Amino acid sequence: MAINTLAAATIFQKQLDQIAVRESVTGWMDANAGKVKYNGGAEVKIPKMSVQGMGEYDRDEGYVQGAVTFEYETRKMTQDRGRKFQLDAMDVDETDFVVTASSVMAEFQRNFVLPEIDAYRISNIATTAMEAKKAGMVNYGYTPGATGTSSLRKLKEGIKAVREIGYNGPLVAHATDEFIMELELELAEKIRSITFSKGGIQTNVPSVDEVPIISTPANRMYTAIAIYDGKTEGQKEGGYAKGSTALDINFMIMPRITPIAITKQDKMRIFTPDNYQKANAWSMDYRRFHDIWISDNKKDSLYVSIKDAEPKGE
């Protein structure tokens, strides 16, 4: 019996979206998008609500009437990425297609899609912090483990900087394994763990002052990345690379509510060998939109520790 490609595509799309949030180190940021409306394509509608402050209570007139404004703001995701894959019909029969295709798409997403999304988000946050030029929120020239330095002090200084801006809610930190190792060595196995929820999964991560520290691969901790188009000579492998002007990040700290990130897979298409004209093969189209936004009134809430010296002219 021929496979229902529409049903398979729907299942893949749902599963891959769930994996994207769960396995991405920045997946926790997607929760800030709230009840986003998405009907395919690059546009999303993000709900915005505002209320007025308190007024004086009058014993005769009672309460002062307050106003509530609720509206959807249309945003366009700037990252429109994708790939086409083929599975030769001789290698995959109809009964084995779903299993094989699931493995291929999951591997592609795990090794290429999610690292790129993470690197894009982190570089965007770092660039925003650097461009905001808020005093004390970007620290340059610190190498973890360097003589006369304290990783714990550096982290606490970052937490203090965010707190002093006025953000007293939950914070989240991303840090390289190099920085976390120095922190653990300095605390001599006394570092505390905290439960951190991401994509419905509870995990234990190290923490300082109740701030969870998310271990993030160093090759995603850049202030800028170059995104390859997959077509140009030298970029055919696709994906991303460290930007030519990029600096290496040690760690970053931010309020959990600050970044608004969205990643959505557009309608996935699967063509059977009978329908695909270019080859006797199964063909799968993978297309993912994603982006991240920082509200103007929250750009000063980002703290970034950078290993490199401050660039001249900054």
* Domain map (residue ranges) of the chain: 5-306
Q: Which residues of the chain have pLDDT under 70?
A: 1-9, 11, 13, 20-21, 94-96, 98-99, 199-200, 313-314
* Class of domain 5-306 (CATH, top level): alpha beta
User: What is the distance between the alpha carbons of residues 93 and 24, in angstroms, rounded to a whole number?
Assistant: 32
In order of 44, 46, 64, 118, 266, the CA distances from 33 in angstroms are 10, 7, 32, 16, 17
- How far from the centroid of its chain's Cα atoms is residue 154's Cα? 24
Task: Look at residue 258 in the predicted model and tell me its pLDDT.
Answer: 92
Task: Look at residue 199 in the predicted model and tell me its pLDDT.
Answer: 66
Task: Look at residue 64 in the predicted model and tell me its pLDDT.
Answer: 92
The structure tokens listed for 219 are: 């090759």
User: What is the distance between the alpha carbons of residues 229 and 224, in angstroms, rounded to a whole number?
Assistant: 16
Task: Look at residue 31 in the predicted model and tell me its pLDDT.
Answer: 84
Tens-place pLDDT, residues 160-183:
999 999 899 999 999 999 999 999
Q: Which run of H or E residues covers position 285?
A: strand 281-294
3-state DSSP of 179-243: HHHHHHHHCCCCCEEEEEEECCEEEEEEEECCEEEEECCHHHCECCEEECCCCCCCCCCCCEEEC
Task: Look at residue 1 in the predicted model and tell me its pLDDT.
Answer: 38
Task: Look at residue 223 in the predicted model and tell me its pLDDT.
Answer: 98
Task: Look at residue 86 in the predicted model and tell me its pLDDT.
Answer: 85
Q: What is the dihedral sign for C-alpha 244, 246, 247, 251? A: negative
Task: Look at residue 95 in the predicted model and tell me its pLDDT.
Answer: 60
User: What is the Cα Rg of the chain in Å?
Assistant: 23
What does pTM read for this prediction?
0.85
